[in-house]
């Protein structure tokens, strides 16, 4: 019964979405206030019914209702309760419902926090979000119904959740990632509403910024969590593989990053308008293209869902209508819009333009790298693969000028910056950068011209310069302490995010350079030394988990005779899905990770173990975390809040 109730709730949500897509938009063209006022309650109603549908699905999973195909295929009665809940979005159908719920949630948020917007604009924005909701709710309802029953025949036990997904990372990763993907729908709707009304000004940019920023926050966090999950769960110690599915999330992130920077220019200087609108459209369009790539089966990926061409066709048609339609509108409306601000070559505008150009180039690289094998094959030229060597090479060359510019950017004034006043502070920044980078390598007793040095130099350059810039701004308020409360939150947020990027760059470069991997054969009692750490295999014994068996290894780690840690690595055999999973043992410190995964048994009572020492690998996720934190801080800026003080002097 509950599953049917869920389906009914989803059907109601569909009806409300349909009304939301039609009534307020129509009302906006015939200037009917009552129709426009309907947008808000419709948005809330739609969200509540989506919430009910999700609750019904979770209920079906928790009660082991194996008559529901989705439950039977992705859960089992032996699955721990928290994974039964996350299993509800572990399949294509369930994750689609989660996507729909997120979309309805963002729509409700816009309805809630758009009191300040003119009613006409509010109605249009909610109406456009309604159109997108219709597309996805219909997809969920008609093309991938999560509540479908298999009656009269049903299994007594479910097929269990894919063991890869039985992890804490999986609880967190999809919801945050989808919040990010779908969040860009709001900026998209704002952009379309502006295209319809033909108004793009600083006010519009000010309104869009917090929405774009919050979507970006979630997407950053989601990608970071995904990377962390892959690292600890896939068992080979990698944190990014340039897989099509990873790239599908990276592309909207790059476009979104460009968007939040371009919005700053549009708000502050009233220029880059057509560009900003295009980015707002592109960020969500890329989210949609990503959803298509993941769910249609056109690309081969480790993470993709079981696919079906009918679904792919539906998504493609939807993509054509939504993205094609909006780009058509863009083409026809945008040529009347003129940006009107001027700036010199050395100005904040040009720096941010440079930022956008590099980010978009990076986006194009990821796009081509992901889709070129498809183009290549469809043109009859044969199968090729594009992966790590290509992407790493391209990002290597792109990151250098980008990071150099990023260190400089926040110092440069709007309109025009004189070079001379910057020479002295930048001399100091440069000296500090050199000292930091070389000092770190000296501490590690490895001063040489390598990737690590480059990464440290770039990271220190960005980080030191970001910190110095904040100090300088604070001093402008009189004294540093007096300035702390005066500088606005956006500025702190920006600085934090830039430092996050610096941390990320350092993490990547150090890990790439100094990771040591060893595949060893060990018996109980054996010791192997990797990077100065002595790993001793204490014992290996049989495991007995709720829905898995397998083996576990206990290791002690010493360094220079002193005990460091105890490690527990598992190799699990999940009974129902009969798959083997490695649960790596990880001892994490800011300066390095010790990573051990248990391999197969070898003749002579021995086991194969893969032992990694990965310096600075935590910095990669720490960097991502700092970036999201930066977005969070910037969101607290009082200029985005409803009550304005009237004198918000904003910088960036």
Partner 1 sequence: MRKVLFYAPLAAFLALALFLLSGLFSDPRERASAIVDKPLPEFALADLMQPDKIWTAEALKGETYLLNVWGVWCPTCNAELGYLTELREQGVKIVGLYYELPRDPAFDAPFDLSVLQRDVSEKLTQNGNPYQFNILDLDRSLSLDLGVSGAPETFIIDASGIVRAHHIGDINPQVWRAKLAPLYQQWSQP
Partner 2 sequence: MRLVLVALFASFSLLAQDIRPFDNEQQRQLFNQLTAELRCPQCQNQNIADSNAIVAVDMREKTYQLVREGKDRAQVLDYMIGRYGDFVHYQPPVNRFTLWLWLAPLLMLVLLLAVGAYRRASKNNDDELAANTPSASELDTLIDRYRSKKP
- For residue 158 the two structure tokens come to 């479910």
Q: How far apart are CA 240 and CA 226, in angstroms?
A: 9
491 lies in the binding site for partner 2 (CB under 8 A)? no
Q: Which does 517 bind (CB under 5 to 8 A by kind): partner 2, partner 1, none?
A: partner 2
Residue 522 interacts, among partner 1, partner 2, none and using kind-specific CB cut-offs from 5 to 8 Å, with partner 2
Taking CB within 5 to 8 Å according to partner kind, which of partner 2, partner 1, none is near residue 374? partner 1
SS3 readout for 216-263: HHHHHHHHHHHHHHHHHHCCCCCCCCCCHHHHHHHHHHHHHHHHHHHH
Q: Which does 278 bind (CB under 5 to 8 A by kind): partner 2, partner 1, none?
A: partner 1
Under the binding rule (CB under 8 A), the answer on residue 41 touching partner 1 is no
Q: Does 112 bind partner 2 (CB under 8 A)?
A: no
Check binding of 268 to partner 2 (CB under 8 A): yes
| Only segment of 12-20, 249-257, 376-384, 457-465 that touches partner 2 (CB under 8 A) | 376-384
120 contributes a contact to partner 2 by CB under 8 A: yes
- The structure tokens listed for 366 are 């990821």
Q: How far is the CB of 246 from partner 2 (least distance, A)?
A: 10
* Cβ atoms of residues 519 and 608 within 8 Å: yes
Stretch that binds partner 1, among 309-317, 417-425, 467-475, 618-626 (CB under 8 A): 309-317
Between 566 and 638, name the residue whose CB sits nearer to partner 2: 638
Helix (H, G, I), strand (E, B) or coil at 360: helix
- Count of Cβ atoms closer than 10 Å to residue 217 Cβ: 26
- Pick the closer one to partner 1 by CB: 73 or 304: 304
Q: Is-contact 624 223, C-beta < 8 A?
A: yes
| 302 near partner 2, rule: CB under 8 A | yes
Work out which of 156, 379, 420, 423 binds partner 2, going by CB under 8 A.
379
Interface of this chain with partner 1, residues 589 to 648, rule: CB under 8 A? 600-603
236 to 275: interface string for partner 1, x by CB under 8 A: --------------------------------------x-
How far apart are alpha carbons 42 and 20 in whole angstroms? 6
Q: Coil, helix or strand for 561?
A: coil
Q: Select from 70-78, 133-141, 317-325, 370-378 the region that touches partner 2 (CB under 8 A).
A: 370-378
33 binds, among partner 1, partner 2, none (CB under 5 to 8 A by kind): partner 2
Phi first, then psi: what are they for 384, rounded to 5°? -130, 165
Chain mean position to CA 375: 26
Q: Is 543 in the site for partner 1 (CB under 8 A)?
A: no
Subset of residues 2 to 61 that bind partner 2, contact rule: CB under 8 A: 33, 36
The one segment of 170-178, 262-270, 278-286, 308-316 that binds partner 2 by CB under 8 A: 262-270
Sign (positive or negative) of CA dihedral 541, 545, 549, 553: negative
Q: Is residue 543 within 8 Å of 552, Cβ to Cβ?
A: yes
CB of 304 to partner 2, least distance (A): 8
Read off the tokens for 349: 């505008």
In Å, what is the CA distance from 371 to each residue of 299, 384, 486?
A: 8, 11, 48
- At residue 555, the 3 state secondary structure works out as strand
Q: Is the peptide bond before 546 cis (omega within 30 degrees of 0)?
A: no
Binding mask 552-591 for partner 1 (x = CB under 8 A): ----------------------------------------
- Name the E strands within 575-627: 579-583, 585-588, 592-602, 606-615
Tokens of 180: 């990010």
Q: Is 382 in the site for partner 1 (CB under 8 A)?
A: yes
Q: Which three-class secondary structure state does DSSP give residue 620?
A: helix
Nearer to partner 2, 521 or 575 (CB): 521
| Contact call for residue 437 and partner 1 (CB under 8 A) | no
By CB under 8 A, residue 271 contacts partner 2: yes
Nearer to partner 1, 428 or 601 (CB): 601
C-alpha separations of 14 from 23, 109, 192, 287 in Å: 14, 18, 22, 22
Instruction: Tell me the DSSP string of 519-541.
Output: EEEEETT-EEEETTEEEEEEEEE
**How far apart are alpha carbons 65 and 71 in whole angstroms?**
7
For residue 412, state whether it binds partner 2 (rule: CB under 8 A). Answer: no
Which of 291, 275, 280, 432 has its CA nearest to residue 341? 275
Q: Which of 85, 319, 327, 386 binds partner 2 (CB under 8 A)?
A: 386
Dist. CA 267–CA 637, nearest whole Å: 15
Name the minimum Å distance from CB 323 to partner 1: 6
Assigned token pair, 187: 């900026």
Residues in the interface with partner 1 (CB under 8 A) total 38
**How many residues sit close enough to partner 2 to count as binding (CB under 8 A)?**
99
With CB cut-offs between 5 and 8 Å by kind, which of partner 2, partner 1, none does residue 309 bind? Answer: partner 1
Shorter beta-carbon distance to partner 1: residue 285 or 457: 285
Which residues form the interface with partner 1 (CB under 8 A)?
274, 278, 281-282, 285, 289, 292, 296-300, 309, 312-313, 316, 319-320, 323-324, 327-328, 330-332, 334-335, 371, 374-375, 377-378, 382-383, 600-603
């Amino acid at each position: 019964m509950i599953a049917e109730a869920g389906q009914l709730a989803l059907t109601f949500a569909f009806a409300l979405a349909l009304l939301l897509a039609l009534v307020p938009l129509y009302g906006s063209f015939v200037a009917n206030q009552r129709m426009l006022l309907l947008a808000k309650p419709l948005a809330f109603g739609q969200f509540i019914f989506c919430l009910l549908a999700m609750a019904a699905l979770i209920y079906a999973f928790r009660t082991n209702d194996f008559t529901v195909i989705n439950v039977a295929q992705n859960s089992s009665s032996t699955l721990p309760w928290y994974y039964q809940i996350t299993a509800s979005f572990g399949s294509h159908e369930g994750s689609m419902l989660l996507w729909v719920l997120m979309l309805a949630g963002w729509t409700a948020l816009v309805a809630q926090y758009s009191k300040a917007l003119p009613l006409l604009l509010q109605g249009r924005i909610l109406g456009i979000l309604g159109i997108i909701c219709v597309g996805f709710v219909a997809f969920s309802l008609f093309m991938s119904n999560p509540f479908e029953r298999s009656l009269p025949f049903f299994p007594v036990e479910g097929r269990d959740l894919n063991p890869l997904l039985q992890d804490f990372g999986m609880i967190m990763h999809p919801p945050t990632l989808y919040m990010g993907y779908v969040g860009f729908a709001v900026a998209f709707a704002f952009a379309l509403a502006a295209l319809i009304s033909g108004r793009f000004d600083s006010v519009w940019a000010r309104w869009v910024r917090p929405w774009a920023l919050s979507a970006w926050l979630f997407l950053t966090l989601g990608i970071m969590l995904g990377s962390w999950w892959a690292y600890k769960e896939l068992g080979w110690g990698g944190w990014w593989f340039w897989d099509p599915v990873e790239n599908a999330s990276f592309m909207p992130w790059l476009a979104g990053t460009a968007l939040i920077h371009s919005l700053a220019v549009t708000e502050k200087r009233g220029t880059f308008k057509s560009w900003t609108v295009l980015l707002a459209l592109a960020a969500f369009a890329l989210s949609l293209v990503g959803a298509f790539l993941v769910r249609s089966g056109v690309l081969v990926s480790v993470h993709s869902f079981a696919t079906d061409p009918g679904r792919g066709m539906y998504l493609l048609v939807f993509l054509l209508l939504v993205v094609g339609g909006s780009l058509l509108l863009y083409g026809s409306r945008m040529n009347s819009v003129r940006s009107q601000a001027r700036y010199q070559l050395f100005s904040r505008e040009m720096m941010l333009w440079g930022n956008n150009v590099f980010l978009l180039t990076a986006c194009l690289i990821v796009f081509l790298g992901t889709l070129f094998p498809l183009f290549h094959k469809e043109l009859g030229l044969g199968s090729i693969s594009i992966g790590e060597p290509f992407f790493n090479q391209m990002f290597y060359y792109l990151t250098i000028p980008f990071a150099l510019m990023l260190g400089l950017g926040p110092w440069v004034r709007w309109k025009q910056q004189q070079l001379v006043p910057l020479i002295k502070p930048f001399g100091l920044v440069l000296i500090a950068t050199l000292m930091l980078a070389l000092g770190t390598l000296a501490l590690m007793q490895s001063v040489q011209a390598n990737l690590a040095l480059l990464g440290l130099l770039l990271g220190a350059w960005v980080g030191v310069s970001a910190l110095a810039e904040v100090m300088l701004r604070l001093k402008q308020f009189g004294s540093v302490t007096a300035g702390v409360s005066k500088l606005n939150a956006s500025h702190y947020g920006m600085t934090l995010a830039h430092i996050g990027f610096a941390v990320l760059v350092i993490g990547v470069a150090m890990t790439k350079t100094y990771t040591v991997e060893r595949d060893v054969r060990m018996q109980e009692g054996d010791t192997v030394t990797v990077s100065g750490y002595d790993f001793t295999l204490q014992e290996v014994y049989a495991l007995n988990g709720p829905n898995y068996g397998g083996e576990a290894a206990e290791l002690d780690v010493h360094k220079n005779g002193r005990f460091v840690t105890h490690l527990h690595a598992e190799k699990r055999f999940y009974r129902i899905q009969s798959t083997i999973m490695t649960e790596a043992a990880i001892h994490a410190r800011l300066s390095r990770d010790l990573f051990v995964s248990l391999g197969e048994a070898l003749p002579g009572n021995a086991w194969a173990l893969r032992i990694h020492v990965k310096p600075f690998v935590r910095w990669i996720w720490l960097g991502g975390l700092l970036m999201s934190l930066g977005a969070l801080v910037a969101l607290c800026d009082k200029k985005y809040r409803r009550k304005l003080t009237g004198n918000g002097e904003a910088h960036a």
